[in-house]
Amino acid sequence: MKTLIVAATEMEIAASIPALVENRMDYLVTGVGMLATAFSMGQNLRERQFDLLVNVGIAGSFQAQHTLGSLFKVRKDHVYEFGAENDREFIPIDQMGFGSSIYSERLPERPMSAAFYQLPYIDGITVNKVHGSEEGIRRVFEQHGPNTIESMEGAAFFYAAQKHGLPCIQVRSISNWVEKRNVERWNIPLAIKALNEWLIAFAQEHAQK
């Protein structure tokens, strides 16, 4: 299966690059955020053919029970607060008739490697602004509950994959809890280490298929 690994920053996948090269797995570094992800994938997928796209990166979790460095597959990803508001409530873009704010994983027909199946699923939101205030976090809880993670790319990745009609999965490693902003409690090195251990195993197992 010809596979493309998609990450926002090189830092997130640097430790896996030798294994990706060795197992002939391509990778794409898009830049951070939905705009950079959609543009970069749009450009690159026009020129090359793939059977599977894999988005990997770090993410924040709204679930206090999650441990930093734990890994999840994202099944469904929402573009957060994409729509309109009136003086009482938020109106999602879906209800306005201008498209969708929800994008999902799509598995290839051929079975995946064990590294994929061993990860638990979670749903995600994709944001332009990392949440860091009690009021903002309360609003996410009201709409999505605490068992949610957030990134700045996930839904855009699924969107671009869907536009190209390609199977796609997203794997995220928790670098921080989404809480009142306190960057000292983030552990990006731990999350990146766990992510790369998984990615190297995935590349090795996947190459054998």
Ligand X SMILES: O=C(O)c1cccc(C(=O)CC[C@H]2O[C@@H](n3cnc4c(=O)[nH]cnc43)[C@H](O)[C@@H]2O)c1
Residues that bind ligand X (CB under 6 A): 8, 32, 57-60, 127, 130, 150-153, 175-176, 178, 183
Q: Which of 173, 197, 190, 186 lies closest to 71, judged by CA?
A: 173
Minimum Å gap between C-beta 114 and ligand X is 26
Least Å distance between CB 111 and ligand X?
28
Minimum distance of ligand X from residue 178's CB (angstroms):
5
Minimum CB separation of residue 58 from ligand X in Å reads: 4
Q: Residue with the closest Cβ to ligand X? A: 60
Q: What is the 3-state secondary structure (H, E, C) of 38-56?
A: HHHHHHHHHHCCCCEEEEE
In angstroms, what is the minimal distance from the CB of 152 to ligand X?
Answer: 4
Q: 126, 152 in Cβ contact below 8 A?
A: yes
* Minimum separation from the CB atom of position 70 to ligand X (A): 13
79 or 206, CB closer to ligand X? 79
Nearer to ligand X, 33 or 83 (CB): 33
155: its two tokens: 């839904």
Q: How far apart are the first and last CA of the chain?
A: 8
Q: Which is nearer to ligand X, 1 or 130 (CB)?
A: 130
Nearer residue to ligand X within complex by CB, 57 or 69: 57
**Residue with Cβ nearer ligand X (1 or 73):** 73
Measured from the CB atom, the residue of 3 and 151 that comes closer to ligand X is: 151
